[in-house]
Homo-oligomer: A and B are copies of this chain.
């Protein structure tokens, strides 16, 4: 089994042995940065949820990810994967994969199985990686393959030597009536008590849930989470039509925490991002918002280095914003 660090924690002996090797959080590199695909179907066909876990397991395996556990409610089936998450609704699915997964392989298998005529819209996003040279494909490779099936627009936002984000959106003949509000918060170089706990040898799911103040920040949600060994934590949550997912790669050399949710962050959840920023205290962070404008009230002291707002051919309003803590960091040489 794969996982955020090559192995998942479980109660078998081999995993315990792995943990007992006392791996340092400084030594272990893992690519937390996700690729993300969302595929919507034309209305009128059978539900994607009816395809069952066997089907989704096959799709996940194609991206080199395994299904670890799942929760469901009346709207959605949410799977925690060895490499991030999968959410399946009746007429669309959303899959995030980290590590060296080739998510586009899974997307193409899905399109092949269902037939391209059923596909209404594809959105594919890729965040800049820590170690792009270890990836199985580049964004440019990926969109060449996607475009061969579904023509679409692709852009990069952000300088190549800094955080940057890639987005492909397929050309869509039908306008989408209700725009999804989705917010992504990507945090880098987490510091402080939460970061230290997440790098420590003995962790528990209940303590992590407390650290993240999950019940307070996501009231009414049902959760499904997984603690990897020696490090790493993934959680999915559902509440009515809303979803959330958080993935934590805590190790010092490449620490990264991502949140994605379709909660409306302009309303009662307006402080969600600032609450998470204050828990993880990242050196820098990015916000990617689709049809949403999260407010920055309560953010740690920062400068906003750069931002971009654009509208896709599909009509989605997308913004990318890159924040840096307003403080000087003493860097420590890392021996190689």
Contacts and interface: CB of A to CB of B under 8 A. Distances in A.
A156 interface: yes
A217 to B, nearest CB: 25
Given A303-B303, A333-B308, A336-B143, A130 B328 contact: no
A135 B75 CA distance: 46
B331 A157 contact: yes
B307 A156 contact: no
Main secondary structure of the interface of A (DSSP, over half): mixed
A13 interface: no
Interface in A160-197: 160-163, 166, 188-189
A153 B330 contact: no
Interface residues of A, number: 48
B283 A159 contact: yes
A162 B283 CA distance: 11
A177 B259 CA distance: 54
Interface in A119-164: 128, 130-133, 135, 138-140, 143, 153-163
A326 interface: yes
Contacts of A133: 132-133, 135, 138
Interface in A300-336: 303-308, 310, 320, 324, 326, 328-336
A253 interface: yes
B160 A254 contact: yes
A151 B279 CA distance: 43
A328 B310 contact: no
Given A303-B326, A305-B324, 6 more contacts: A154-B335, A155-B335, A159-B189, A160-B253, A304-B328, A305-B328
24 contacts: A130-B160, A133-B135, A140-B336, A155-B336, A156-B333, A157-B333, A158-B331, A159-B188, A161-B163, A161-B188, A161-B254, A162-B284, A166-B336, A303-B324, A304-B328, A305-B324, A305-B329, A306-B328, A306-B329, A306-B331, A307-B330, A307-B331, A310-B333, A320-B331
Interface of A: 128, 130-133, 135, 138-140, 143, 153-163, 166, 188-189, 253-254, 256, 283-284, 303-308, 310, 320, 324, 326, 328-336
The 5 closest A-B pairs by CB, nearest first: A308-B331, A155-B333, A306-B329, A154-B336, A130-B160
